[in-house]
Amino acid sequence: MSIELKQVSYTYMPKTPYEHKALDDVSFTLDEGSFTAIAGHTGSGKSTLVQHLNGLLHPECGQVLVDGVDLADSSRTGRQAAKEARNKVGMVFQYPEQQLFEETIAADIAFGPKNQGLEGEALAKRVKEAMELMGLDYAAYKDRSPFQLSGGQKRRVAIAGVLALHPKYLVLDEPTAGLDPQGREDLIQIICRLRKKWKLTIVFVSHNMEDIARLADSVVIMNHGQMAIKAAPQAAFEQVGILQAAGLQEPQMLHLLHRLQAVGLPVKADGIQLADGIHAIKEALSHAK
């Protein structure tokens, strides 16, 4: 099972002076169990792209298939299946305010599972579980308003609301933006754990090359509405030209190692994570002696 994008194009405000082609002939497949990162410059079409994955936007041309079902199918026979397919995809928006609306945090998180038909004890359990996953103490937060929180706390509530759905496909649009360093790390650990436990298929919009490197098995790089490349992160990071054209930069550690090479240090520049980089530098220093 998978999500398939087939030659998807999308234009905002067609036939107006503000017409803007935000997606231009994008095709790729997200296999079940895969972890795909999406990166690209501001305005490159990332959010537009991910909003196609749960049918919030429908392609102007092309198709989005979730487990073989066309999300845009509005025929009498296909409508129900399309709705069910859309419900398999949980989506965390770029700004948490875009998805918070209930009066209390507990009600907000309960909204989705309730719509799925959960009630009573089972519903309460879901809400508690999701809040605990996101480090939100149930007793302390359940009755608070989701709007009276700090930016990072709102983000945690928004993510909890989606986790409470137990989605099969989890789509996160810049989920670590606004989280403090520990909070980022915690979120990444949670995502990794749930990926295994719930056998999730994940799509993750991010500007953080280190996170992409350690999490994703492939990265889609967007540039002006087009897919510039879809490749394993390591391979993508070697395409420095493509990265730069898309507003991105090579991972920081790689950048450091390349600079050390440039001043004549014999380092191997293949590490992205801290430990690899430290190791490479130590090796080089002992050789230089």
Partner 1 sequence: MAFIKVENLTHIYHPGTPQESVALDKVNLSIEAGEFVAVLGTNGSGKSTLARHLNGLLLPTEGRCFIRGLDTCNEQELWQIRQQIGMVFQNPDNQLIAAVVEDDVAFGPENLGMDPQEIRAKVNASLQAVNMAKYRTFAPHLLSGGQKQRIAIAGALAMDTDCLVLDEPTAMLDPQGREEVLRTVQKLHEERGITIVYITHFMEEASVADRIVVMDKGQVAADGTPREIFADVPGMKKCGLDVPLAVEVVWQLRHQGIKLPEDILTEDELVEALEAYTCQSN
The one among 214, 252, 268, 276 contacting partner 1 by CB under 8 A: 252
Q: Does 126 bind partner 1 (CB under 8 A)?
A: no
Which tokens sit at 276? Answer: 């690899």
Contacts of 280 (CB under 8 A, 6+ apart): 257, 267, 268, 269, 270, 271
Q: Does 273 bind partner 1 (CB under 8 A)?
A: no
Query: Contact, 96 vs 173, CB < 8 A?
Result: no
The residue (of 36 and 206) whose beta carbon lies closer to partner 1 is 206
The residue (of 115 and 145) whose beta carbon lies closer to partner 1 is 145
The residue (of 71 and 272) whose beta carbon lies closer to partner 1 is 272
Which tokens sit at 75? Answer: 């025929």
Using CB under 8 A as the criterion, what x/- string covers residues 86-125 for binding partner 1? --------xx-x----------------------------
> Could you report how far apart the first and last alpha carbons of the chain are, in Å?
55
The one among 36, 44, 47, 54 contacting Mg ion by CB under 5 A: 47
Strands (E), 58-137: 61-66, 69-70, 89-92
The three-class DSSP label of residue 146 is coil
Judged by CB under 6 A, the number of residues near ligand ATP is 19
The one among 260, 269, 271, 272 contacting partner 1 by CB under 8 A: 260
Q: How far is Cα 89 from Cα 72, in angstroms, rounded to an integer?
A: 14
Which tokens sit at 279? Answer: 């190791």
Q: Does 21 bind partner 1 (CB under 8 A)?
A: no
The one among 55, 200, 207, 227 contacting partner 1 by CB under 8 A: 207
* Amino acid of residue 65: L
Task: Give the length of the chain.
Answer: 289
Beta pairing class for 218-223 and 35-40: parallel
Which tokens sit at 183? Answer: 């909070």
* Amino acid of residue 213: A
Which positions from 75 through 104 interact with Mg ion, judged by CB under 5 A? 94
* Amino acid of residue 185: E
Using CB under 6 A as the criterion, what x/- string covers residues 140-159 for binding ligand ATP? --------xxxxxx------
Q: Does 177 bind partner 1 (CB under 8 A)?
A: yes
Q: Does 228 bind partner 1 (CB under 8 A)?
A: no
- Segment near partner 1 (CB under 8 A), from 35-43, 77-85, 116-124, 188-196? 35-43
Using CB under 6 A as the criterion, what x/- string covers residues 29-58 for binding ligand ATP? -----------x-xxxxxxx----------
Query: Contact, 252 vs 209, CB < 8 A?
Result: yes
The residue (of 168 and 204) whose beta carbon lies closer to Mg ion is 204
Q: Which residue has the tokens 């945090």?
A: 105
Residues that bind Mg ion (CB under 5 A): 46-47, 94, 150-151
Residues that bind ligand ATP (CB under 6 A): 12-13, 20, 22, 40, 42-48, 94, 148-153
